[in-house]
Every structure is written in structure tokens, then in C-alpha cells.
Chain A
């Protein structure tokens, strides 16, 4: 079963500490892979400006890399920085990894003046296009993310070993938010895309557990014909897409996410200040109710970090830390590994109605309860 570790801190830090937390939680999981998302990125050998998009992925052959270059050039992207990993390829099980790329591009000149949403759509379409190009060529090109300030790395293998293979302990890449997941994609075939965290337009989540409502949710999301709602090699990818759907397409606040995926019972809504609205929302979004058991951790473009449980709360998750530095993990020992010198009285394990949010200032975390009023102008 998967293990999750996430750390957010005001000062950028290397991802190796988070991998150590994965190691601390090794009992009971097969460590069959590593998925890593870094946000608020700082490169040791490049002065990165936070608005330039970063493309992360793997080219499995020379030809794929060429096609990637041609495609990006044709679209008008200019390569600003190409991160060279300090590789130890012997530690990687797979033999067809030609190049792990983390590349900073400057966007095409024609995008100047485009509204933010249009830029976001273009970035997503570029990533989807690269992915489809890879799939059309025998999966020789894998594109995980293309977004400002986000780096993603996914590989099959024991997390610490993957980290060593990619030289992640050298701190040449640091970040303010690091999400890590030890992968075992449940039920479906082994696939690099099945590795958490999942990403769409700056929104990323990772999950431990099994989403038993996967097929109906997938069918609903796919039916909406939105170009980014593809993939679904893992049943957990829908959590990311539901979060994206809630925030971007419905324009609801983050507080509404929990109401969409795990709505309250009728009896609870009967006494809720926005009960009538929330009942309507529950009915309209009924096809997006997750059935767990899952713990979902996510991060947003403004470096907000969140943690929610499914309604049954059959997965553990803990948050702990100190002002300016918070760690979230699926096991308490994961938190211990990431921030050993914290005030333990601040540790918290959310209940089924809670959303734990660490805002970008990171001074304290907030606990939102679904039973509380929902700050929603429409709902007033």
C-alpha cells in the first residue's frame, strides 16, 4: 500500500529529507516506485524566475528527445535551462531511460497579453500533446507536468534508491513544497503515469488507498470532454481532477472540495447553515462522491497545502511541525523523520469532516470542518 510524505517550509529544502520519511514508513508498503512533486523551486546552478514554465518528464530514446525539441520549438518555446541530473543509472531497474528532463522554457511571444486562464489552457494542451505524442510512439516520451514553478519526477523502484540514482541528495534542486508518494498502483497495470502525485494546471494531489468509486467517476469526468481529463491509469488520478473541477471549472472555494467528494449526511445538512445549498451541491455532484478508503494530500499553485480523509476515515494521516515548517504523512513516523524537533502537541489527525490547510504563510495550519458555515457568496 502506498505511503505519503509531504513537507512545506518557508525556506527551500532538498527532497532527500522527504525520501528519508518514505524510508521511515517502509513497513507495510512495497516501495515499488517514487513520485515526487516540487513546488517553489530553486536550482543551485540557475537563477529561476518563478513565472517560466518547467517541463518535467522522461525521454526514453534519443528520437523521442528530438521530437520533443522540435515540438517545443515549433510552438515557439525557447529553452532557458536544462537540468542535468547527477545520474547513477545502475540503480534504476528500467533500462530505457534515455533522459530525465527538467527544463525551463520561456513561453512563446504570441502568449503575451493572453489572459491567465488561456495561458493555463495552453500549458495543459502542450503537456497533453507531448503525452499523446509519446503514446503514439510506443510510450517513448513521458510528460508529467508543464507549469511554472513545478518539477515532477516519477520512477519505478525503491524510493530511496531512486533518489540516489537521480542524485537528489545533492540539493541542487530545492523547493518549498515537496510531495512524495511510494507507488503501488492498485488494480491496474504498471505504468509511469499511474504514479502519484497527479497534476493538472498547477493542482496536484496524491493518495493512499483505493478509490472504489473510480469507474463511475472516471466515466463522468471523461464524458465532460475536457482535454486534461485523460489518463486514469490509476484510480487516484480522479482526486486531482475533481479538485481541479471544483476550483477551476465550478469556481468554488477550496472549502467546497470536501463537500463534493464526501458530502455530509442529510441529517447533518438539515441543521447546517447552508444545508439547502449543500444538499443541492451534493445532488449535482453526486457522481463525484469518492468512496475511499483514501487520504488525499494536495498542493495548489499558491503553495497552499491540504489534507482530507474520505468519509470512512479508514486511512491514517498526520500533520505536525512548527511555524514556518509543516510535515504531512500517512504515518506518524513519517512526520517524525521530516521534522523531529517539532512541538508534538500541535500534531493533528483529521477526522472525517475536516480539511487541514496550511496556507502559504505557513505560520499555522487551519482545520476546516464541513459542519461549519461555508464561506460562499452564492450560498449566502
Chain B
């Protein structure tokens, strides 16, 4: 027996019962192959010797006593840096179903100890909240008068949306008659792969997404576009015909923009659009952060930085101090760089100032749209408190902005795009279409795509969510070849195609009973209902119960 005085207790001593995830190990099934311990991304388990006492119970003899058996077993580590993250890779590789993580049913105490070494806890993923207001919106206006009813499987549907500044009909005709400049627009699929940078994502993940998007466009004729996030784009992509499916992001760190600007003369086509990032829904006011673990040789080269250094982008564009100035300088400069043929739009965090930003953009002829990212947005790395408790939900923020445009008779002149928690519980088409009917021209998907197309394990119960430390067990957000080789780009591409094909079918299933087939039901708020009177009033939709 261990002496009581010898037990080491420190302020942050924990047992595995205090951790968010507890490893269940069945010794009777375990063959001690060691795969689980070798695959664990955070080394939460290790093989170790254990001793078991075997009491001697021979009743015919006088002597009592014990013999001991030594065996190899699996033990869970309790250091916070190596706590089990619940990813379940151990159970994925176990040949005998002998091991797996179990969520701690108790109040886990680890959360009181997560701030270590004077640093607040940073993690990837999304808010640890499973509820989604978007999930509760239902499409109530079923068109009984539409006889014969539309058939989602047989009718022809126009599902595309417009990205780019839309002129009023009067102004369009005037400019057309005079041969003046007409802002560029793109006809795109309303579900967009949102900004996840080359750096945040592994090369295999990125390649898989691009392959999938190219297939969707070129073979299936579904004009899906994807955004890069900050950090540039591989040079071969910049010079390839696939660039037209890519929205290049410019953020406050300007990482990767040297390469982009240098590649302009050799570009075979224009990019789909340029997105200027001002904020991110998951961490408003935080800027970007690519942690040093992920700054590999390739990433360092793309971004023009040394290897293995943290890459923080400041929360603001250092050269600008207001959205007005930004619109004047950046949007016009970027438009000019591509001969005014490419839409340029800003991305902001959902906030109470979104409406002022929007009204500012409406009055600028070069602004091509506005992307609003709500609090449920995901991120590769952010402080816990930013992700969980800072920001503005997207539904009311978007609705307010849309109704503001309606009151001016200018809805969709600046197309509004929404992001932040679309499909967080898997209801991607429903969430997206609800936002579209609230007034969005389209929605951006980030984490949903990782979860659906690459099997990202992260969940709203804080499962996995270690995108930041370069140890993604699926190889999605890791720059370590040993990890990202687990992900086959071809498989990702296949899943991307499956996902968008499925979304397309579900959009039709939503639009057909509404009687819509010729145009995306942007702002068709008469179709929406929700079982909460206050929310219904706030969003100016129907209260149903």
C-alpha cells in the first residue's frame, strides 16, 4: 500500500475521473498490440506495467499470503496537456473493440485548471453549445394551391445565387446605354466552402477540397466556390484554370499576398472574388493565429515567413482605421488589380455595428457584397472565452441588415452572405435555406465541410477540437506529413461531391413544396415559422406551435 503522505497533491492535481473524457479499457479483450497508444494524438494513454496481487487461499494450509502477477496494461494520463480529447482514434484502430473514450458524466474538474503557465486556454472548433436557433426554423408555407405540385425530382430548379454588386435596373440600363463600367458578378451555388486557410488545413485536405470543387463545376455543373482564408494559395493553383473557383482572402496579416500579386501576370483566369477579412464570428477582435506547430516548410514558403514561428494577424488592418477608408483603399485597389473584373467584398464579425458597415458599403459602388460571420463560426485557434461567449448570433444580425436594405428598396444590391454555425448539428440544407429566406444570398460553411467531407471528429461537446496544435488525428488540420497522409485527397474530393449533391437535392426538397423553382427564395420570410414568439417577432417571421 502506498503511504498516504507519499501521495503528491498540487493545486492542479487531477485523476482521470476529473477529465472530460475517461478511457474505458477492457483488459479481457485487449491483445496489447499497442496500436491505440501509438495512434493517440495527445498521448493520453500509455502502456505500462501493472502488478496484481493474487491472494493465496489454500484452506488446508496454515500459511496465508499472496503471490503477485505483473502484466502490461493501459493507463490514462492525467496531465492537462495530455488529457484525453475524446477523439476516439484508439477505438478506431483497436482490433478487438477493447478501448474507447467515454464522456465524463460528472462535472469534470479539468475546466478549472485549463489556464496553465499564465496562458488562457486556446482551442479550435466551435462554441461548446449544441442548441441552434436555425435548427428550430420550419418552412411553413407549403403551397397547396400549386397544382400540379412541384416535384423536386423532376422539375428544373434554378438554385444559383449572385455574388457581386447588383445595380438597380435603372442604373444598369443607364450604364449599359452609355457603355459605362458594370460591376462584375458571379453566378454561384449558394452554399460556399468558407475561409479555411492553406496552413490551417493540411495540403491533402486542401487538395481534396479543390479536386471536389473542380469536379462539381466542370463535370456536374454545380458552380460551387471555395474561399482560401488568409495565407495565400499554392503557386500552381494561382496559375491554374481552377483559380476561377476560388475566393482569395486578404486579411490583416497579408500572409501569402506577395505570391498572389506576383502571380497576377501569369494567371489564366480571374479568381471568383476577393474577400477582405475584418473579423471572424468565432473570435471577433482577435485577428488570426496560425500556431508555430503548423508553420511547416511549405507553409513558411507560401506565406513568406520563417519556419516554426507563431503567425498572428493583428485584429485590424494596420494601414487602415475605418471601414470607410478600407472601402476606399482596399476594395478599389483590389478591384483595380484585376481590371475591375473581380468582385471584392469584406467579411465582418456579426455585431451590432454590422448595419452601419452595410450602409456604408451600399453607398460605395465598388463594394461587391458583405459576409457576416456569427458567433457560432469556427476557428483553428481562439481563446476559449472568445469562442464561447463573444459575438453576435447570425440570424437576427442578418435579418436586421436585410430589412434595412428592404426599407431602402435596395435589397440584394449588396448581396448578404451569412456564416456561423450553418449545419452545426448536421442540418445543413435546412439551416442554409432558413438564412436565405431570412435574406441571405448565400451561406458559407467551414466546419460542416470538415466534418462531412473529411470526417473531422470535433463536436459541440468539445470532442477533439485540437485543430490548433497541429495534431489533428484525421490529418485535416495538421501540417505533419505523418498525420496528413492519413487523409486521401481523392476520398475527400468524393465526399465533397457527395455533400454538395446532397445539399442540392435537399434544397430542391425545400423549394418544391414552397412552389419555388425559378429563383432562390431570398427573403421569402413568409415561408418561415418558429415555435418561439419572441424570436418570431424579432425575425419578423410567423410564430407557430
Binding site for B on A (CB under 8 A): 1, 186-187, 209-210, 212-216, 219-220, 222-225, 245, 249-252, 262, 265-266, 277, 280-281, 283-287, 289-293, 310-312, 314, 378-379
Contacts and interface: CB of A to CB of B under 8 A. Distances in A.
Given A1-B145, A216-B524, A312-B150, A287 B162 contact: no
Given A215-B524, A291-B516, A277 B176 contact: yes
Nearest to A290: B518
B173 A252 contact: yes
B168 interface: yes
Say what secondary structure dominates the interface of chain B: loop
B516 A213 contact: yes
Contact of B409 (A187, A223, A290, A292): A223
Interface in B377-415: 406-412
Contacts of B158: 265
B244 to A, nearest CB: 15
Contacts of A285: 169
A299 B170 CA distance: 24
Contacts of A215: 523-526
B514 interface: yes
A310 B518 contact: yes
B425 interface: no
A250 to B, nearest CB: 6
A222 B170 CA distance: 16
Contacts of B147: 1, 314
B316 interface: no
Interface of B: 141, 143, 145-148, 150, 155, 158, 160, 162, 166-173, 176-177, 182, 185, 187, 406-412, 514-519, 521-526
Contacts, number: 111
Contact of A286 (B141, B155, B166, B407): B166
Per CB-CB distance, the 3 closest pairs between chain A and chain B, nearest first, are: A223-B409, A212-B515, A284-B172
B292 to A, nearest CB: 45
A280 B521 contact: no
A213 B521 contact: yes
Contact of B518 (A222, A283, A312): A312
B182 A280 contact: yes
B143 A311 contact: no
A210 B145 contact: yes
15 contacts: A1-B147, A209-B146, A210-B146, A213-B521, A215-B525, A215-B526, A216-B411, A220-B409, A223-B408, A223-B411, A280-B172, A284-B172, A286-B412, A286-B519, A312-B518
Contacts of A213: 516, 518-519, 521, 524
Of A215, A249, A277, A290, most B-chain CB atoms within 10 Å: A215
Contact of A293 (B141, B166, B406, B515): B515
Contacts of A311: 517-518
A212 B516 CA distance: 6
A352 B229 CA distance: 43
A197 to B, nearest CB: 19
A216 B523 contact: yes
